Amino acid sequence: MSRAVPPLSRNSQAPGTSSGRPIGTATRLTTASGQRPSSRGGPLGSNMRIKVEDAPMVRGGLGGIQNPGGLGGRQVQDRTYFVGLVRSKVSDLESEIQRLRRESESFTEDNKQYFALSKAAEDLSQQIEILRNELGDYNMVIDRLQTTGEVAELKKEIADLTAHNHQVESSIDEIYLEKQRKEQRIQRLEGDLAAEKKKAERVLENMNPELKQRYTKIRSTSHHFQTQMDTMQNEITSLEGQMNKMREQMSGAVIKQEALSLVEQIYELEFKRDQLSNESKNILTPDQERQKLTQQVKEDNQEIAAMDKQISELRERNENLKQNYDNDDVQASLLVAQQSKSTAAAADDETKQKYLELKKRELHIDEFFSTYEETRDQYLNDVKNVQKSNLTLLALISRTLVKGDQGISRDDYTQLKTNVDQHEAEKKKSNDTLAILAEQHRKVKQDYAKVETLDQKLTEELKELKKQYAKMQEDLDKFNDLEGLKKKAEKRKIQLAADKSNMGKQRQVTKMEIQTLQSQFEAAQTQLRDNETHQQLVGLEKKLQSVSQACFLTDEALQSQNVQGQYEQIKRQALELVQAHNRWLIQNFQNSPIA
C-alpha cells in the first residue's frame, strides 16, 4: 500500500534489478540519519549514479555536500527517507507535546496548590478574626471586672442576655411563621380574587349588549368618580397638612389658639341655631294641628261609612243568592221525588238511574202488551196461509203422481229433473250450512267449557281469597288484641327465663359430671395404654391393616393376571373364524371353479 502511493517510488522501481536493494538501504538510512553521508559514499552512491544519469542527481550529490538537509531531500527519491524524516519530526513533535503537557500539568498543580493555599489563608484569616473577637470579649470582660469587680454579676448578665437571645429567636421564628401564614393567606386571597374576576368577566360576556353598554357606562362614571375622589382626598390631605402647619405656627401664640377655639365654638353654635330655627319653622300652631286632625278623623269616618255600606250590600246579595239556591234545591228535590215515586227511595243518583231503567222496561212491556193481539193474529194468518199453500201443493203432487202413472211427458220429466237438481243443490247447501253450524256449535261448546273452567278457577280463587280474608281478619283481631298479645309475650318471656335459669343449673351439674366422667375416661385410657395386651393388640391391628391391604393388592394383581392369561376363548374364536373362512372359501370355489 505504501508502495503504490508516491510516483517517485515507481520510478525507482522501474530499473527493476535494484528494487530490492534500495529499500533495504533506505531503511538503514532512516534508522541512522546521522550516517547518511558515509552510506552515500559507499556502494549506494555508485548504484544511484548507475541507475539514472540526471542533473538532479548530480545536484543532489552536490547539495548533499553543501547542506545535508537539502541533500537528504534531494537524495531521497525513495519514500522511506521521507518516512524517516516525518518520523523524526513526529517524534520531535511528540517530545514537544510531552514537554508542553508536563508544563501544563505543573501549572495546574501550581494552580491547585495556589487555590488550596488561598483557601487555607482565608480560613486562617477567619480564625484570626474569630480570635480577635474573642480577645475583644476577653478584654471587655477584664475591663468590666476592673470597673465592677464582681464575677457573679457578670455571669448573671450573661445568663440574662442568653435568655433574651433565646426569646428573641423564638419571637423571630414566630414572626417567620406568621409571615408564611400571611403569605399563604395572601396567595389564597389572590386566587379568590382572580376567580372572582374571572367570574365577573364571564358574567360580563354573558350579558346582553344593552346591559353591557350600561355596565361600561357605569364603570366609566365610577372610574371618573374614583379619580375625582382621589383628587379630593389629595386635596384634603394637602389642606390638612396646611392646617397642621398653621397650627404649628400658631402654637407659639396662646391668644391665637384661644381665638381659634372660640371661632370653632362660634361655628358650632351657629350650626345649632340654624337647625333649631328650621325645626321651629316646621312646627305648626296647636289650632292648625287640631284642624288637621279633625279633618283626618272626618275622612276616616267617611271611609268607614262607605265600607259599612258595601258590607251591607254584599250581605244582601249573599242572602239573595242563598234564597235562590234554596229554591233551586227544593225544586230539584221535588223533581227527584216525583221520579222516584215507585221506588219511594231517597233521591240520590243511583236510584234515579234505576228508576229510569225500570220505566224504560215498563214502556217496552206496555208496547208488547198492546201489540200482542195484532201480532198473534198476523202469525195465525201466516200459519193458515202456509197450510193452504201446503194443501194446494199436495193436490198438485197427487195430480202429478196420477199423471205420472199415466206416463210422464218429456217436459214434465225435464221440469222434474231440474226441480230435483235444484232441490239437490239446496240440500247440499243446507247440508253445508248444517256442517258449518255443527262446527260453530262445537266451537261454542269449547268456549263454554273454557268459560266453565275459568269459572271454576275463579270460584276457587274466590274461596281462597275468602279464606285469606278470614285469616287476615283473624290476624287483625289478634293484632287488635294488643293486651292479649302482650300478655302472651310476657308469659313466654317468663317461661323462657325460667327455662334459662333451669338450664343454667343443669349446665353446672352437667359440667361437673362431664368432668368426673372425663377423668374416669382418662384413667381407663391410661390403664388401657399401660396394658400390654392392648399394646400388642394395637400392633396386631396395624399389622392386620397392612396385611389386609397387601392381600387386597395381591388380589387385584391376581385378577388382572388372570384376565391377561385367559387367552383360551380368544384362541377358540380365532380358530372358529379361520374354519368358517375356510368353509366359505371351499363352498365358493366348488360352486364356481377357477377358470
Partner 1 sequence: MTLTESNAFVSMASSADQDYPPSNILDPNDKVFWMTTGLYPQEFIITFKEPIEFRQIRFVTTNVKRFVMFTTSNQEPKNFETILEKTLSNNENNLQVTDFTLDRSIDVRYLKCVILAAYDSFSSVHSLKFDAENSRTGKKY
Cell of 486: 302482650
Q: Which of 213, 389, 508, 525 binds partner 1 (CB under 8 A)?
A: 508
3-state secondary structure of 135: helix
Q: Which of 55, 344, 509, 563 binds partner 1 (CB under 8 A)?
A: 509
Counted residue by residue, the chain has a size of 595
Rounded least distance, CB 495 to partner 1, Å: 14
One symbol per residue from 318 to 357: x for binding partner 1 (CB under 8 A), - otherwise; what is it?
Answer: ----------------------------------------
18: Cβ contacts below 8 Å, ≥ 6 apart: 47, 51
Residue closer to partner 1 by CB (options 459, 502) is 502
Distance set, CA 260 to CA 239, 241, 243, 254, 497 (Å): 17, 17, 12, 10, 101
Distance set, CA 312 to CA 299, 301, 304, 308, 326 (Å): 20, 17, 12, 6, 21
Rounded least distance, CB 525 to partner 1, Å: 16
Residue closer to partner 1 by CB (options 319, 499) is 499
At which residue does the C-alpha cell 532512516 appear? 30
- Residue 510 in contact with partner 1, rule: CB under 8 A: yes
Give me the amino acid identity at 175: I
- Our CA angle for 384, 390, 395, nearest 5°, is 130
Rounded least distance, CB 524 to partner 1, Å: 12
- Residue 289 in contact with partner 1, rule: CB under 8 A: no
* Binding piece for partner 1, criterion CB under 8 A, among 27-35, 295-303, 351-359, 504-512: 504-512
Q: Which of 312, 506, 531, 559 binds partner 1 (CB under 8 A)?
A: 506
- Contact at 8 Å (CB) between 39 and 33? no
- Residue 497 in contact with partner 1, rule: CB under 8 A: no
Helix 286-339 vs helix 349-406: crossing angle, to nearest 10? 30
- Residue 502 in contact with partner 1, rule: CB under 8 A: yes
> Which of 47, 57, 41, 52 lies closest to 18, judged by CA?
47
Cell of 178: 406568621
Give how far the C-alpha of residue 440 lies from the chain's centroid of Cα atoms, to the nearest Å: 66
- Residue 430 in contact with partner 1, rule: CB under 8 A: no
Rounded least distance, CB 493 to partner 1, Å: 21
Residue closer to partner 1 by CB (options 310, 502) is 502
- Contact at 8 Å (CB) between 68 and 36? yes
* Binding piece for partner 1, criterion CB under 8 A, among 142-150, 394-402, 429-437, 509-517: 509-517
- Residue 8 in contact with partner 1, rule: CB under 8 A: no
- Residue 516 in contact with partner 1, rule: CB under 8 A: yes
- Our CA angle for 404, 405, 406, nearest 5°, is 90
* E strand or H helix that includes residue 332: helix 286-339
Residue closer to partner 1 by CB (options 180, 520) is 520
Residue closer to partner 1 by CB (options 171, 506) is 506
Cα distance between residue 207 and residue 201, in whole Å? 10
408: Cβ contacts below 8 Å, ≥ 6 apart: 416
Rounded least distance, CB 508 to partner 1, Å: 8
- Residue 88 in contact with partner 1, rule: CB under 8 A: no
Q: Which of residues 387-416 bind partner 1 (CB under 8 A)?
A: none
- Residue 221 in contact with partner 1, rule: CB under 8 A: no
* Binding piece for partner 1, criterion CB under 8 A, among 218-226, 379-387, 451-459, 510-518: 510-518
Cα distance between residue 348 and residue 333, in whole Å? 10
Q: Which residues bind partner 1 (CB under 8 A)?
A: 502, 505-506, 508-510, 512-513, 516
